[in-house]
Chains A and B, each alone.
Chain A
Amino acid sequence: MAVRRRSKAARLAKRAGLGLSVLALVSPAAFVFLWMLSLSLKNEVDNMAFPPVFVPHPPTFANFVKVFAENDFLRYTVNSCIVSFSATALALAIGVPAGYGIAKARAARAAMLILIARITPGLSYLIPLFLLFQWLGLLGTLTPIVITHLVITVPIVVWVMIGFFEGLPRELEEAALVDGATIWQAFRHVALPLARPGVTVATILAFIFSWNNFLFGIVLAGRTTRTLPVAVYNVLTFEQVSWGPLAAAALVVTAPVLLLTLLAQKEIVAGLTAGGVKGG
């Protein structure tokens, strides 16, 4: 009896310990985002107060209005959408078949090339491409930004798709080939529908890491072709003193990604656990 009571107490202590460690792990993540929200909803007096004001009272949307009124944020949002959607769509169009081909041909060396691309610092692609685009007269348009974003999106898509196509049973496609289908038809009508979850994962990850990219934009973007991360950085350099608009701008940039993460967390977890992919 006494033993059972002690083990019950031990189990309770273990639950409490687990609860506390989860709280300790999650609260820094939650705090930074809540603080960003708090800064963006407070007026300048409250933001500069010490001790800090935690809960905006009353909350104000003036910072968001200011960001869109004083900077051309609408244009930058459109730029970011064009760049990330095009870079993701192009990467899917060429990366999904490539993942299939590499998985089927079991080309380990091609997979290795993708890995080396993942290891290389983004800046080392950027200097030669910058010179190339300058020579082609493309600087100041969105084209070079979309093209450089392929450096991020193509390896992600190919890498995720190799994993998914390798996991498919090959009997189905072989049956189709025996029945006289071409390999393109076997890919298009047998393998691709089965790998749809993989395509979803690849799309989400490619889009997020393209959206988040800062480095390529800061070098290649002109005044009118800034993507959102670059635009936010520019707000920082010009308005270092006012925190409200800064936090509001930061929130505008990252909100779509946070929303996507909340909605598709299962797919994101699956994709990242599989390959440890990350852009940049």
Chain B
Amino acid sequence: MAEALTRATGAARAAAGRRAHYRRRYWAFALPAAAIVLAVIVFPWLFTLYMSVHEWEPSGGALFMGLGNYLKLAADARFAWAILRTLYFAALAVAAPVILGVAAALAFNERFPLRGLARTVFILPMMATPVAIALVWSMMFHPQLGVLNYLLSALGLPPASWTYSADTVIPTLALVETWQWTPLVMLIVLGGLASLPRDPYEAALLDGAGAWQTFRHITLPLIWPFIVVAGVIRTIDALKSFDVIYVITQGGPGTASETINIFLYQQAFAYYHLGYAGAVTVVFFILIIAVSLVLLAMRQRAKWQ
């Protein structure tokens, strides 16, 4: 008996030792990927840092200029506006998809006929090629011939100027982004709903709780972590949104929809200010990391409370 026990613990210890030994050897599996990540992800990060402290000549020479690009950037009003615009766009393009996505997840969590088909149609916007759908939306936004203004007039509403006016262009682009990315929020929250325990609901039913009370006090707290994850992902994607804005407006009218990403693209590939673009990239990256950290910290606090 005792002997069998010693042998068993000895075997367990050997297995644990073997596992630790293998853990180191499993690194070999990641080596090719590590090489690729170094070449196409880490190298660009480091090179961008190097670039941002240089002035790049069209001929190919690089002139060291310290923090000159950053100082110039700090004084660039066009960049300051781009930051404000990006935050405005992101606020709209996060809030709307998160609220609608939670509602959609609750709806798709119920059983109803043709649910599979309805869900597939609902997720098509996020899988479709962004350039293609941006094109269709830009035709729908046409002030005279567009189908959207026709639908508004059919409802007795005045026509809107959509992407053709500086006042409405950002909310309009946020509308397209909402249309496109609400499904992702829905999928993440739906995953949360699928993992909910049944007991609290049975208890609530016995206590005679209404549908809203059940949602507010049971469902919402339980799926909150999923909503936060969806919110963080959505925020990061909204901050770096490019395709839809570039195809529909290219930052216009004027610079009314020029977000940081569009500004960066123009500096790098329209004006070839590569050093300056490097500095923009670094600031942009820090902004995205900072916003994500703030959101994740909020999530931690929510967890502790």
| Interface set of A (CB-CB < 8 Å, partner B) | 15, 18-19, 21-22, 25-26, 28-30, 32-33, 35-36, 39, 48, 50-52, 93-95, 97-98, 100-102, 104-107, 110, 113, 117-129, 131-132, 147-148, 150-151, 154, 158, 174, 177, 183, 187, 208, 211-212, 214-215, 219, 228-230, 232-233, 236, 243, 246-247, 249-251, 253-254, 257-258, 260-262, 265, 268-269, 272-274, 276, 278, 280
Contact = CB atoms under 8 A, between A and B. Distances in A.
A15 B26 CA distance: 53
A21 B133 CA distance: 24
B112 interface: yes
Contacts of B246: 214
B281 A121 contact: yes
B129 interface: yes
A276 B192 CA distance: 12
Instruction: Give the interface centre of B48, B112, B187 by most chain A CB atoms within 10 Å.
Output: B187
A273 B191 contact: yes
Most chain B Cβ neighbours within 10 Å, of A102, A148, A187, A260: A102
Interface string B5-48: 00000000001001100111111111011101100110111011
Given A32-B137, A154-B36, A127 B274 contact: yes
B261 A22 contact: no
Contacts of B269: 219
Contact of B139 (A39, A127, A147, A208): A39
Contacts, number: 257
A109 to B, nearest CB: 11
B29 A100 contact: yes
Contact of B131 (A50, A120, A229, A273): A229
B128 A215 contact: no
Contact of A272 (B135, B138, B187, B268): B187
30 contacts: A21-B107, A22-B118, A25-B100, A29-B121, A29-B183, A36-B132, A48-B145, A110-B30, A113-B41, A117-B37, A119-B289, A120-B285, A121-B285, A121-B288, A123-B261, A124-B45, A128-B47, A174-B19, A214-B242, A229-B132, A243-B139, A250-B131, A251-B132, A257-B129, A258-B124, A260-B127, A261-B120, A261-B123, A273-B188, A278-B233
A105 B27 contact: yes
B224 interface: no
Given A51-B150, A110-B30, A127 B48 contact: yes
Contacts of A273: 187-188, 190-191
Interface of B: 15, 18-19, 22-30, 32-34, 36-37, 40-41, 43-45, 47-48, 51, 100, 103-104, 107-108, 110, 112, 116, 118-133, 135-140, 144-145, 147, 150, 179, 183-184, 187-188, 190-191, 229-230, 233, 236-237, 240, 242-243, 246-247, 261, 264-265, 268-269, 274, 277-278, 281, 284-285, 288-289, 292
Nearest to B291: A119
A94 B184 contact: no
A29 B33 contact: no
Please give me the 5 A-B residue pairs with the lowest Cβ-Cβ distance, nearest first: A101-B29, A98-B33, A250-B132, A128-B47, A273-B191
Given A29-B125, A98-B29, A150-B40, 8 more contacts: A26-B118, A29-B121, A32-B125, A33-B124, A110-B30, A122-B242, A150-B36, A276-B230
B25 to A, nearest CB: 6
B284 A211 contact: no
A232 B120 contact: no
A94 to B, nearest CB: 4
Contact of A36 (B27, B136, B184): B136
Contacts of A97: 29-30, 32-33
A231 to B, nearest CB: 9
Contact of B23 (A105, A127, A258): A105
A218 B297 CA distance: 37
A94 B36 CA distance: 9
A121 B261 contact: yes
Contacts of B131: 212, 214, 229-230, 232-233, 250, 253
A126 B15 CA distance: 46
Contacts of B24: 105
B112 A29 contact: no
A14 to B, nearest CB: 8
A246 B121 contact: no
A25 B150 CA distance: 21
A121 B285 CA distance: 7
B37 A124 contact: no
Contacts of A215: 242-243
A215 B34 CA distance: 24
Given A174-B15, A211-B129, A257-B127, A246 B51 contact: no
Contacts of A265: 116, 119-120, 123
A52 B144 CA distance: 11
Contacts of B230: 276
A119 B29 contact: no
Contacts of B100: 25
Contact of B123 (A106, A151, A230, A268): A268
